[in-house]
Amino acid sequence: MLDYIKGEIAELTPASVVIETGGVGYLAHISLNTYSALGNLKTCKLFVYEAIREDAHQLFGFMEKRERELFLLLISVSGVGANTARMVLSSIAVYELEGIIASGNANALKAVKGVGIKTAERIILDLKGKVKISGTTSPDAVSGEVAREAVSALVMLGFNQLASQKAVGKIYADKPSSTVEEIIKLALKML
């Protein structure tokens, strides 16, 4: 199994990236979070998951191992395919998804396009004990609410949701005890 691909970014769209290495271009399907992280890079190291089916061989790429681990957990849930998992990871930041699953918030998952309430409940039921909320980038319940409020405020100010989530995630990783106001002020300087 492939673990990662390192090379030049030959082509980048919100849904996929082509990485050229050794004279071969590898097409990998990506989430919007990975797309944003790739941004203006010319080269990258992309962690991959290779899905082999009778009718297709597909690569799914992730900038962080943590995102790939969540993707693998999501596709292990009955009824959740690779495209649904990618949609979930495109709609919700990794640390936020971990908090949603740990807190059992099915309504937040249901808000993702293509995820109904039964699928959301199944994801939470199957993954609640498997998702590790660790390190400085994963908010506990209170901090998760602070991060969500900060993202909501930035979106209401007219900033892109994904860019807001990314900025808030970085700020939270550096200063996990920040208030909503502090996060918003710092994020405004980044956006």
What confidence score (pLDDT) does residue 142 get? 41
On whether both 90 and 116 belong to a single domain, the answer is: yes
- Give a yes or no: residue 108 inside a domain: yes
HSE-up of residue 163 (Cα within 13 Å, Cβ side)? 12
- Give a yes or no: residue 136 inside a domain: no
52: domain CATH number is: 2.40.50.140
CB-based contacts of 190, cutoff 8 Å, min separation 6:
167, 170, 171
On whether both 56 and 74 belong to a single domain, the answer is: no
- Give a yes or no: residue 34 inside a domain: yes
Last residue of a domain, one of 62, 80, 100: 62
Last residue of a domain, one of 97, 127, 157: 127
> CA–CA separation, 177 vs 66, rounded Å?
22
What confidence score (pLDDT) does residue 36 get? 85
Q: pLDDT tens digits for the chain (191 residues)?
A: 789 999 999 999 999 999 999 999 999 999 988 998 898 899 999 999 999 888 989 999 999 999 999 999 999 999 899 999 999 998 888 888 888 888 888 888 888 888 999 999 999 999 988 876 644 344 344 456 777 778 878 877 888 877 888 888 888 777 777 788 888 888 888 88
- Give a yes or no: residue 184 inside a domain: yes
CB-based contacts of 125, cutoff 8 Å, min separation 6:
none
110: domain CATH number is: 1.10.150.20
Closest-CA residue to 63 (of 87, 88, 90): 90
Q: In the chain, how many domains are there? A: 3
- Give a yes or no: residue 134 inside a domain: no
- Give a yes or no: residue 152 inside a domain: yes
On whether both 34 and 75 belong to a single domain, the answer is: no
Residue-range definition of the domain harbouring residue 85: 65-127
- Give a yes or no: residue 174 inside a domain: yes
Last residue of a domain, one of 15, 41, 62: 62
Q: Is the pTM of this model over 0.85?
A: no
On whether both 123 and 70 belong to a single domain, the answer is: yes
